[in-house]
Amino acid sequence: MNGLEEFAEKAILYANDEGCQYCDVRAEVISERGVMIENGEIEYPISKEDQGLGIRILKSGAWGFYSISNPTSLEQVRNGVNNAVKVAQYCSNNKKSKVKISNVPVNNEKIDFPVKDEPNIDELVKIGFDCNKIIQKESRIIRAVTALGYITVSKYFVNTEGSKINQNKTDVIANLSATAHESGLTQSVNITEGGRGGLEKITKECDITETSRLIAEKASELIDAKPVKTSKAPLVMNPDFVALLTHEILGHPSEADRVLGKEMAWAGGAWWAGKIGEKIASENLNVFDDPTIEGNLGWYHYDDEGVKSSRTNLIENGTLVNHLQNRETAEIYGVKPTANMRATSYKFMPLIRMACTCIDGGDWDPQEMISEVKEGYFISNMKVPSIDMKRYNWSISCQYAHKIENGEITDLLRDVIVMGTAPNFFKSIDACGNDFTVRPITNCGKGDPMQSMFMGNGGPSLRAIATVKSVEA
């Protein structure tokens, strides 16, 4: 890592010299390559390199943070520690309750996440052009966009407690979009594929050429689709839609800083604050967060506090049992940290973030779930969320939907929004499918300054009651 590891370890020594209660340092080297192709032409290539140190210290009961890009001398590192100390001391003077952090084991490990097929830009460009051509074959398509890329990150974590952890990962992502237009109506369908690994994430574990054909076909079909009439009805939601629903109304309000009200100024809170141990959903709802699920974008062995990852159950048979915790909030709640402290890069303080939050699968065949619905809707694929500050009232648009009539899927519907209130929706869940799936999420934002992050979210097909209405309503 071009001397960054030595700089990180020196920062720890300087923090000890300053009498800090605690210090951790993240040394990171980040490389990004990618390309965006629109209607058969390269719009722009992506080529970025970055490296540096993120220094976080705890002194006088308050946090301080300072980052250094491309450090070249120990003097820079010492100044970085001193600046972090000054921030902590300033914050301490204005802080009523002093920060305490829970004890965790010391960890020393190096992890290289597996890559079966090393990504390269030439292959990504070829795949991107192939997918773009497939999308353009549909006559109604006016815009085909294929954006493919990969990011490699080498991260070295060290702290004053003795942990030394090196994690090296590669993420490969493909974003595909098809836009159709005819007779004054425009419809778009898009999808994201990829995960933690190499080219195999988009060439072997899924077939993005076939996916390209399907989204173009569906965008074209939506030109002839009908708008939905506003109604409250049983809905069967496919795993892709459920992934975003899980993200917005289960994952975010599970973050303990939101529950404690520490994020209210910019990211919101949680309606179920103070409800640990209470029944907040039907017996059919089980929710967990699990950074150990291999291959997804939320897979890691240690978080940015050096805490070893493991599965955390959040809701068990409808009862709220836990939140996502860092070392500070775990001390407040009197529980163990859940390894959910993460930052977008060394430039940012880590925050409590979902890793791979999911609704657990059930025993139902999705077709059986549909067959029991006399009059309702089949909801497909995530689009745009709109959620209130406490994640209580929510609406999420889907990319398309179908009527369900007498247990059969019938008319295709466009511009559909699904709406509900969290507790009523959770209590109405009466079936979870056996088709559990984890989907990639590439643009989750949180914090001030804003940090955008990759993660996984997932679940099975889900049956519940909610309101549907048209975008035009």
Q: Is the pLDDT of residue 132 over 60?
A: yes
Q: What is the pLDDT of residue 318?
A: 98
CB atoms within 10 A of CB 230: 12
Cα–Cα distance for residue pair 379/388, rounded to 1 Å: 22
* Cβ(457)–Cβ(314) below 8 Å: no
| Complete DSSP assignment for 192-211 | EEEEESSTHHHHTSS-HHHH
Span 208-221, mean pLDDT? Answer: 98
Provide the phi-psi class of 130: left if phi over 0, else alpha when psi is between -120 and 50, else beta. Answer: alpha
Contact 297, 440 (CB under 8 A): yes
Residue-wise pLDDT for 141-195, tens only, equals 999 999 999 999 999 999 999 999 999 999 999 999 999 999 999 999 999 999 9
What's the CA angle centered on 257, arms 350 and 79, to 5 degrees? 30
Hey, where are the domains in the chain? 4-222, 226-470
Its CATH class, for the domain covering 4-222, is alpha beta
> Would you say residue 264 has pLDDT above 90?
no
Does residue 198 contact residue 174 with C-beta atoms inside 8 Å?
no
What is the pTM for the complete model shown? 0.97
Q: Does residue 374 carry a pLDDT above 60?
A: yes
User: Which residues fall within 8 angstroms of residue 297, CB to CB, at 6 or more apart?
Assistant: 171, 194, 195, 196, 356, 440, 441, 442, 454, 455, 456
Find, among 17, 138, 134, the residue nearest to 81 by Cα.
Answer: 17
Buried/exposed 131-170: b ≥16 CB within 10 Å, e otherwise: bbebbbebebbebbbbbbbbbbbbbbbbbbeebbbbbbbb
Predicted confidence (pLDDT) per residue in 36-92, tens digit: 999 999 998 999 999 999 999 999 999 999 999 999 999 999 999 999 999 999 999
d(CA 328, CA 185): 52
Element (H, E) at 323: none
Mean local confidence (pLDDT), 377-383: 97
Cα-based distances in Å from 241 to 196, 244, 410, 450, 463? 21, 6, 19, 25, 12
Helix 121-136, helix 208-222: angle, nearest 10: 30
Cα radius of gyration rounded to whole Å, the chain = 23
283-296 pLDDT, tens per residue? Answer: 999 999 999 999 99
Residue 462: CA atoms inside 13 Å, Cβ hemisphere, count?
33
Kindly tell me if the per-residue pLDDT of 265 is higher than 60: no
Average per-residue pLDDT for the chain: 96
- Calpha distance 417→419 (Å, rounded): 6
And the tokens for 189?
């369908």
pLDDT bracket for residue 262 (50, 70, 90): confident
The pLDDT assigned to 94 comes to 85
Show the CA angle centred on residue 360, arms to residues 357 and 361, nearest 5°: 140
pLDDT in tens, 302-359: 999 999 999 999 999 999 999 999 999 999 999 999 999 999 999 999 999 999 999 9
**Beta bridge partners of residue 194, listed in sequence order:** 173
Q: What local confidence, expressed as pLDDT, does residue 397 receive?
A: 97
Q: Could you check whether the bond before residue 449 is cis, i.e. omega within 30 degrees of 0? A: yes
- Give the DSSP per-residue string, 215-239: HHHHHHHHTTPEEPPPEEEEEEE-H
Closest CA to 40 of 148, 132, 176, 158: 132
Pairing of β 108-112 and β 141-159: unpaired
